Structure 1
């Protein structure tokens, strides 16, 4: 893989982002077809309502191929939410996840957010390990049945 660049999310990335989330989560986690529509709603909301001065999405690319994504979306004046963090399998284990998280958190700091939150599932072990390694704290964990499977839903936060 040649040089990986991070560029701002563009609306034409939306179909890829929705498809990759739906396909990879079905393959890796057994999620049903209710997950991709949730991702589509999140992406559509971002496109329609984001504040470019306070919200940003990034897409990682190499040789014109999309490899991952991450978003920073304001919840209120002091809190941002990390969303839509994804790496395709061939991009994992190369430090790109850390780079995406660092970029997202740096943006949040630069925009004056004091803390960040995220929602995930315990089964995303590599992502959860990365959150912990970058200073995030697990603040809530509960069993749920979502997307056709039994999961442990987690909430994390970090003070910036």
Structure 2
């Protein structure tokens, strides 16, 4: 990569293409393994969620945001519909060199716009206490920490956290 990356150099698409699901599963497993020591169980968790998303996909209710730069996926976020006009935010990640340029804020803004356009009444997400930068983005949009629990689900001891946004 040459020079400083600008958020305007990154394109964001909202359609899935062949290879996207597998790549996103792979990058989540690799990135969270390398950066946080998560085990293969985390990659398996992501794979199960991606299968669930694709199986229930409804373009009027669900959305993906796939950030690309130089023909490479550099970020990902999805909104998955749940019952009773509730949305779940899942699998938000940015490659390390794309953090801090405003891309996360831009993707979060796109999420919130779609959430409102679809008239969802609330949204929630699960994360861990090891991701304070992501939590900051969620809090900025009005999400509040509503639940914390000790977990070994991803191959190490951590705290899973649930954030909720009500009255969108």
TM-score range, shorter chain: over 0.9
* TM-score, L = length of structure 2: 0.90
Specify the alignment match of 2:125 in structure 1: 118
In 1, the alpha carbon distance for the partners of 2:149 and 2:66 equals 30
- Gaps (5+ residues) in structure 2? none
1:18 to 17, 21, 25: 25
- Report the Cα offset of residue 74 of structure 1: 0.9
Is 1:7 the counterpart of 2:18? The answer is: no
Q: How does 1:66-105 map to 2 (within 5 A)?
A: 66-105=73-112
In 2, the alpha carbon distance for the partners of 1:4 and 1:128 equals 23
Specify the alignment match of 1:65 in structure 2: 72
DSSP-derived class of the 2:126 partner: strand
- Report the Cα offset of residue 77 of structure 1: 3.1
Q: Is the Cα–Cα contact under 8 Å of residues 11 and 47 in structure 1 kept in the other structure?
A: no
DSSP-derived class of the 1:112 partner: coil
Specify the alignment match of 1:141 in structure 2: 148
Specify the alignment match of 1:36 in structure 2: 43
- Report the Cα offset of residue 134 of structure 1: 2.0
DSSP-derived class of the 2:157 partner: strand
DSSP-derived class of the 1:85 partner: strand
Q: Is the Cα–Cα contact under 8 Å of residues 70 and 100 in structure 1 kept in the other structure?
A: yes
- Report the Cα offset of residue 9 of structure 1: 3.9
In 1, the alpha carbon distance for the partners of 2:15 and 2:92 equals 12
- Report the Cα offset of residue 11 of structure 1: 4.2
Is 1:153 the counterpart of 2:160? The answer is: yes
- Report the Cα offset of residue 146 of structure 1: 1.7
- Report the Cα offset of residue 72 of structure 1: 0.6
CA RMSD of aligned residues (A): 1.2
* Count of residues paired in the alignment: 160
